[in-house]
Chains A and B, each alone.
Chain A
Amino acid sequence: MPPATLKVFRGQAAQGDFREYRVDVDEGMVVLDVIHRIQATQAPDLACRWNCKAGKCGSCSAEVNGKPRLMCMTRMDIFEPGETISVAPIRTFPLIRDLVTDVSYNYVKAREVPPLRLRPPDADGKYRMMQEDVDRPQEFHKCIECFLCQDVCHVIRDHEEHKPAFAGPRFFIKIAGLDMHPLDTLNRTEFVRRQAGIGLCNITKCCTEVCPEHIHITDNGIIPMKERMADDFDPIVWLLRKFRGGRPEPA
């Protein structure tokens, strides 16, 4: 393959700019390989996070040609020969250095989600769940926490002021996964409305588009949570609940 030209963001805190590198590329290489080659040969201090290099840990998130992606899963042969490829840090979070940003926002939000509240076990002390009970929340458990959905979500990407009151797509599916957990007894609709700010989401689906695990964040997570919230204001549902017994109490 011909050598590639990469425009990589280099900078720290409030300063920085793109710098061009020309790199040899071998067959089958991904963007992360090229970044590593730049580190080994041209810029040993080029900062980037990575771990598994197989799309399983979600560490190497960046914006390649403006699109949020995992560098380890972005093959070099998808680009036009001669194209200059831009590699930028995920822009929604504060810069630490080069391609590394401070993603602590996500760890703060993680802590706010009310954890599992377990129902009592069956009479013999075991918990039974059928495959169809776990299929739906299992999809959300595939999340590798690459935070690309958080990065692309315009609610916080373009409106910093919403960060305190908005949990973001990753945590909407976390909440959905708990709410749909067959052993859970907690109702999180109040939380998702008030603390997690689901109303700020206008379901424009960019989170789903960038998810490397192909989780249907919007259709299977956010919209069902919005619907569960609407249940609380639906007189028909209210009547039905009176009739056949209600949902768990709010947090």
Chain B
Amino acid sequence: MAKPEYETHEHDVIVIGAGGAGLRAAIEAAAQGVSVGLICKSLLGKAHTVMAEGGIAAAMGNVWPEDNWQVHFRDTMRGGKMLNNWRMAQLHAQEAPDRVLELERFGALFDRTKDGLISQRDFGGHRYARLAHVGDRTGLEMIRTLQYHAIHQGIDVYMECKVERLLKDGDRVAGAFGYWRNTGQFVMFKAKAVVLATGGIGKAWKITSNSWEYTGDGHATALWAGADLIDMEFVQFHPTGMVWPPSVRGILVTESVRGDGGTLKNNQGERFMFNYIPEFFKGETADNIEEAERWYADKKNNRRTPDLLPRDEVARAINSEVKAGRGSPHGGVFLDICTRRPADYIRKRLPSMYHQFKELANVDITREPMEVGPTCHYVMGGVRVDADSTQATVAGLFAAGEVAGGMHGSNRLGGNSLSDLLVFGRRAGLHAALYAKNLGGTVTIDRAEVESVARAALEPFSRSGGENPYAIQAELQETMHTLVGIIRTEAEMRQALAKIETLKERARKVRVEGGRVYNPGWHIALDLQSLLTVAECTTLAALERKESRGGHTRDDHPYTDDTWGKVNVVLRLRDGRVQVSREPLPEMPAELRALFQERK
């Protein structure tokens, strides 16, 4: 075969992924005066951040002056069942308000309080109304604001470009190699530092709120480049996704519906969440309807409604109701806001939910309840990073946003994602730029490695026989859904591992029709590698953790176990195989530990 051709671009820092974290990182790196390249798989501004609906969690205290970073920190840690990297949770809670205000200075227009400050709304697991929001399209506001700020900062944007591999110069990162989706031509980026901001892995499951992009590229390429992954067993199933019609199954129904007064009911009309309040949250959750109703107006003297328990709890509860035969006609439960809030209020606060149901499901949410059920939404696990600098265990590699692990522990609170993107996106951009500045000189690339990646990428075109990549992707999604879903057992996961092994084998023989220009069949064939890798990682980690905690529920180990509360499951690639190990969590300092003893 002839030597594959590729073009080369050189930057101090490249950022892979242009969602909230990637854009914020690129802006910060550019502000440090280094040359920045921003690579995205889709068009600029289409990243998954636009799907975030509820808001940005930040303890600004605009609505409840009692709120502060300590409360936010405590909520985050408790939501993550104490498995979070405490330092990340601390930085996150401390810096989020500044990041939100900064967004406002970039031009974002949040909904306002009566005093003209940024309004904040209630969300699951947050003690106070804390989410800065714009109706139910906060993510869109965030990405548009960052996007339009970024385009004036001298950043080079490479759109519809997919990174296949990270490149290394000895032990440190030296760039990335990929292809243009438009033309199918290869492209190489030389860089001193690489920021991963590629999002999650949700496309490995069948019912998911995630788009085609969420194939775990960042997780997989980091692993292949030698970086550690942690907490990969923790996958968040958002409790409320659409369930009907089948073609929209999994599309997200924002938690704001519950934050703004919606309640969950089973087919008997019962508010079943009152039956699922776990011991851990008893102290802060109302155990009767009267108190829950009072809480909306008076948060100081009443406990929170169980409809707003953290997502893992609600998802499991819905799952149990449906299994017990108390579900809605299409296998979900009812989410009712129409009998609880006036139609105008619903349309004003939840305009895109209103349209989504009206146009896709013929349901008018101001008159009828919605049918909802759990949908794969977010992976808590990811690249293991240093909390302050976001640097991975490979020099020059940084990660922020969903692709980074540790911040959310075993379960993420709603609203903490957008703030995570901003806080750690900025830190990643800053530290990548500083790293690149300190490094000096140039990096060198192993051309032979690049060429072998390119050759492998082109192989599916020349195979005869072989399989349709769509079929393999669909089987993987089915496998993960039935065998590594919300409720897991050892036997099923062993089955899943075996299945993934055969799928890997079949993926090696996949065949692609047509040419290289914008060929989705080929793109899926290439994405299969990372998708299979992350599926394997999640399954391995889930097998290892023999307890139930947050986004990881084992039917064969149904209880939370304190000894497991002190370790992360770490994955790393050694000699071509994924190794699993348990490593202790960083120790929380005494003054922060005290926050959890004050009120039990």
A residues in contact (CB < 8 Å) with B: 12, 26-30, 33, 39-40, 44-59, 73, 75, 96-98, 100, 102-103, 107, 110-111, 113, 115-116, 118, 126-131, 133-134, 137-138, 141-145, 174, 178, 181, 183-184
C-alpha gap A134/B135 in the complex (Å): 12
Contact B520 A44 (CB under 8 A): yes
Contact B109 A51 (CB under 8 A): no
Tell me which of B99-107, B303-311, B389-397, B412-420 binds A. Answer: B99-107
Is B522 at the interface (CB under 8 A from chain A)?
A: yes
CB-CB < 8 A to A130: which residues of B?
112, 116
* B23 smallest CB distance to A (angstroms): 14
Across the interface, B517 reaches (CB within 8 A) one of A56, A97, A111, namely A97
* B375 smallest CB distance to A (angstroms): 12
Contact B109 A52 (CB under 8 A): no
Is B152 at the interface (CB under 8 A from chain A)?
A: yes
* B149 smallest CB distance to A (angstroms): 7
CB-CB < 8 A to A55: which residues of B?
352, 355-356, 359-360
C-alpha gap A160/B77 in the complex (Å): 57
Contact A129 B45 (CB under 8 A): no
CB-CB < 8 A to B520: which residues of A?
39, 44-48
C-alpha gap A107/B43 in the complex (Å): 10
Which residues of chain B from 114 to 153 have a CB within 8 Å of any chain A CB? 115-117, 134-135, 137, 140-141, 144, 148-149, 151-152
Tell me which of B80-88, B449-457, B468-476, B485-493 binds A. Answer: B468-476
C-alpha gap A145/B352 in the complex (Å): 16
Contact A144 B140 (CB under 8 A): yes
Contact A45 B513 (CB under 8 A): yes
C-alpha gap A49/B106 in the complex (Å): 29
Contact A131 B111 (CB under 8 A): yes
C-alpha gap A73/B360 in the complex (Å): 7
Tell me which of B189-197, B226-234, B244-252 binds A. Answer: B244-252
Contact A40 B104 (CB under 8 A): no
CB-CB < 8 A to A107: which residues of B?
44, 151, 157, 159
Is B521 at the interface (CB under 8 A from chain A)?
A: yes
* B518 smallest CB distance to A (angstroms): 4
* Residue among B213, B360, B513, B515 with most chain A CB within 10 A: B360
A-B pairs with beta carbons under 8 Å apart, 7 shown? A12-B517, A26-B245, A27-B246, A51-B211, A52-B48, A57-B211, A111-B151
Contact B514 A45 (CB under 8 A): yes
Leading 7 A-B pairs by shortest Cβ distance? A28-B245, A45-B514, A44-B521, A128-B116, A47-B518, A40-B470, A97-B518
* A167 smallest CB distance to B (angstroms): 14
* B58 smallest CB distance to A (angstroms): 14
Is B529 at the interface (CB under 8 A from chain A)?
A: no
C-alpha gap A39/B404 in the complex (Å): 33
* B241 smallest CB distance to A (angstroms): 11
CB-CB < 8 A to A73: which residues of B?
359-360
Is B512 at the interface (CB under 8 A from chain A)?
A: yes
Contact B140 A56 (CB under 8 A): yes
Is B42 at the interface (CB under 8 A from chain A)?
A: yes
In the complex, what residue of chain B is closest to A34 when comparing beta carbons? B247
Across the interface, A28 reaches (CB within 8 A) one of B109, B149, B252, B361, namely B361
Contact B115 A128 (CB under 8 A): yes
With A28-B248, A115-B148, A145-B45: A181-B137 Cβ-Cβ less than 8 Å: no
* B89 smallest CB distance to A (angstroms): 26
B residues in contact (CB < 8 Å) with A: 42-46, 48, 50-51, 101, 104-107, 109-112, 115-117, 134-135, 137, 140-141, 144, 148-149, 151-152, 157, 159, 182, 211-213, 244-248, 251-252, 352, 355-356, 359-361, 468-471, 474, 512-515, 517-522
CB-CB < 8 A to A26: which residues of B?
245-247
Across the interface, B149 reaches (CB within 8 A) one of A115, A128, A174, namely A115
* B206 smallest CB distance to A (angstroms): 14
Contact B360 A103 (CB under 8 A): no
Contact A100 B212 (CB under 8 A): no
Across the interface, B137 reaches (CB within 8 A) one of A33, A59, A118, A142, namely A142
C-alpha gap A113/B147 in the complex (Å): 13
9 further contact pairs, Cβ within 8 A, besides A39-B470, A55-B359, A141-B144: A28-B245, A45-B513, A45-B522, A51-B211, A115-B148, A128-B117, A129-B112, A131-B111, A183-B107
Contact A127 B359 (CB under 8 A): no
* B146 smallest CB distance to A (angstroms): 12
C-alpha gap A30/B360 in the complex (Å): 8
Contact B116 A45 (CB under 8 A): no
Across the interface, A129 reaches (CB within 8 A) one of B109, B157, B512, namely B109
Contact A96 B517 (CB under 8 A): yes
CB-CB < 8 A to B474: which residues of A?
40
CB-CB < 8 A to B104: which residues of A?
127
In the complex, what residue of chain B is closest to A107 when comparing beta carbons? B44
CB-CB < 8 A to B212: which residues of A?
50-51
* A175 smallest CB distance to B (angstroms): 12
CB-CB < 8 A to B252: which residues of A?
54
Contact A134 B109 (CB under 8 A): yes
In the complex, what residue of chain B is closest to A116 when comparing beta carbons? B107
Contact B151 A110 (CB under 8 A): yes
CB-CB < 8 A to B522: which residues of A?
45
Contact B109 A141 (CB under 8 A): yes
Contact B247 A39 (CB under 8 A): no
CB-CB < 8 A to B110: which residues of A?
134
CB-CB < 8 A to B105: which residues of A?
118, 127
Contact A53 B109 (CB under 8 A): no
Contact A58 B137 (CB under 8 A): no
Contact A116 B42 (CB under 8 A): no
